[in-house]
Structures are given as structure tokens and as C-alpha cells.
Amino acid sequence: MSRYRNVGRFLRAVYTEVRAERITFMAGSIAYHAFISLLPFLLVLLLLVTEFGDPETASRLVAAIGTYFSPNESGLLTNVVEGARSETSLSILGVLTLLWGALKIFRSLDTAFSDIYETGDENTLGDTFADAIVVLVALVVGLLIVGLASTQLSFGDGPVGTLLSKVVAVAALTLVFLPVFYVFPDTDVTVREVVPGTVVAAGGWTALESLFRYYVAFTGTSETFGVVGTILLIVTWLYFNGLVLLVAAATNAVLAGRSEDVAAIGWGEEELVETVEFAEPLEEICGALDAGEPVTVQTGETSVTLPPADERDCSVEQIDRPDLLGGDEARGRLVLRWEGER
């Protein structure tokens, strides 16, 4: 029964995190940047593959990858990208310009992840673009692998084939998303720690792809409203995909005990802080520092007395996480800062 209570507390904690970080609002920002960056991203990919391969393979590759970014089976994205390719050359300036546009979406994601993990103060502009470039390269490689596999694999149209294709899609997207959830938090995380959210994102994207595909087939949005209807559908699709990614990031943050907006779930049976050696001495130091007294540091036979620190950051905390993700962890932090003037 306690396990079910923990699951309920976990779901409420994720909901609280989503509201506290205004994730629905951030998903709208990501959808906007994704919409204006999607065509440049696919165009760069098509030009690169065409440059080093044959055009037919490049077209099939973009069409396969486009299914993950657009629920519309009319091929609007593919047709636009194909038309742009005939009028665009693969110059260095052109590639850099298009890549700059594609990087905007990853910068938005990096900022959103930093807010969720409360690491925004440590995330400089240079770090943001460095993370975006790393993830962009990893994502392009992953999408190339997924796209090439999609052009070669066929499971048929029956129930078994459909199920197998969905399982493969979830596995492929998990591989593609893993760098996103590992790099963007801007803090030290383990692969095991980010896997749950990665699987949630992959499963969510696959489910959304199926739902939107059935919706398009049932309503005939493209035929009824033309290009405008298709654009609105793509923007809506991108919004929900961005929302799934950010909810998955919140899932990882809550599971790993890295959220400052929700209380610890309490997966463990005992307080780990009470058993580690550094906890009690560090808590005594924290209390003494609050009095603003001089600081005496002794190491071996060397003892030094310093004036009261101008800034103090002292804490002992326990991070609660399930045993599957590494179990509970106790952390201590002591930072003293002095400032002097001439």
C-alpha cells in the first residue's frame, strides 16, 4: 500500500513542479522556436545527405524523419524542403545561417531544463550554446540512424506489425532523446537517473504521433482548411511535443530529488542524513556561522582564525530517490566568501 501512496505523491509532485515552473508556458515558447527552426533544420539535413549521398535516399530520409515532427501525411513539410533544396546551395555561409536558426530551439530547451533543475544561475550564454551544439550534433546523428532504419525496416500493416513499429519507434526516440536529458540539466546527472524521463518522452511522442495521425485521417484538416489548417495543426503538434519533453524533464527532477519546488517523496525507509559522518559536525558549523563570529580552521597542527565571512552557504540535505535510480543520497555544502577593498 505504501508503494501506491508513493506513486500518488510522485504524480502530485510532478504536477506541482509543472505548475511551479510554468511548463505549459515554456512549451509554447519551444513550439514557436521549433516552428521557425523546423524547415531550416530539415533543409540542412537534406542538403548534407544530398551532398554526400544520392538525392533519392535523402528525400526518403527527410520524409521518414518528418513523421516525428509533423502529423500531417500530406507531405507539406517534405514538399517545402524539397522545393527549397532546388534553390539553395550548400555554401558555408548558408549552412551556418541555417544552423543558427536550428540552434534557437535547443537554446530554449536548455533554458527550460535549467529552470526545472534550478541551475539557471550557473547557466551562462556560452554554456547554453555549447550545450545546444552538443545536443544538435547528437540529435542529427540519432535522427540519421532512425531515418535510415525507417527506410529499410517494414513490419507490415497488421496489428503485430503496427505494435512492432511502435516499439521500435519508442526505442529509437529513447536513443535520440538521451543526450537532451543528459546534457541540458547543467548539473551532474547519471545516465540511469535520466532514463525514466527519456522513456516517458519517447512514449509520449509515439502516442501523440498516433493520436494526431488518426485525428488528421478522421477530420481531413488539410483538405478542409488547406495550408492554414496544416500550419495550425503543426504548431499544435509541436506544442504538445514540447510539453511532453518538459513534463519528462520534471519527472526526472522529481524522481532524483533535484526539484526545489516540491517536498521529498521519501522513497527510503530511514533518514540517511542521520547516518553519514559529516552531517552532525556540518550542522553544528552551520549554526555557529549564523552567529557571525570569527572562523577558526584547523588542519592537523595548523590553526588559522579568519574574520566573519561576508557570505555563507552552509547546508545538509538528503536527496530521496528510488533504489532503482541509485537510492537516497546525503549531501553537505559549506561555502565561505570574504570580500576586501583596498
Q: What is the pLDDT of residues 81-140, one digit of tens each?
A: 555 555 555 555 556 666 666 677 777 787 888 888 877 655 666 776 777 777 777 777
Higher pLDDT, 172 or 152: 172
The pairing of strands 329-337 and 311-319 is antiparallel
Higher pLDDT, 147 or 301: 301
Q: How many CA atoms lie within 13 A of 70 on its CB side?
A: 24
Higher pLDDT, 159 or 72: 159
Tell me how far apart the alpha carbons of residues 107 and 73 are, in angstroms, rounded to a whole number.
Answer: 29
CB 243 within 8 A of CB 109: no
Higher pLDDT, 37 or 72: 37
What is the arithmetic mean of pLDDT over 208-234? 71
Could you tell me the pLDDT band of residue 59, with boundaries at 50, 70 and 90? low
pLDDT at 195: 92
Tell me how far apart the alpha carbons of residues 318 and 330 are, in angstroms, rounded to a whole number.
Answer: 4
**How many helices (H) does the chain have, and how many strands (E)?**
10, 4
- Range in 32-36, 44-48, 242-246 with the lowest mean pLDDT: 44-48
pLDDT at 246: 93
pTM: 0.69
CB 291 within 8 A of CB 279: no
Examine the pLDDT at 244 and tell me if it is beyond 90. Answer: yes
The contacts of residue 128 (CB under 8 Å, 6+ apart) are 107, 110, 111
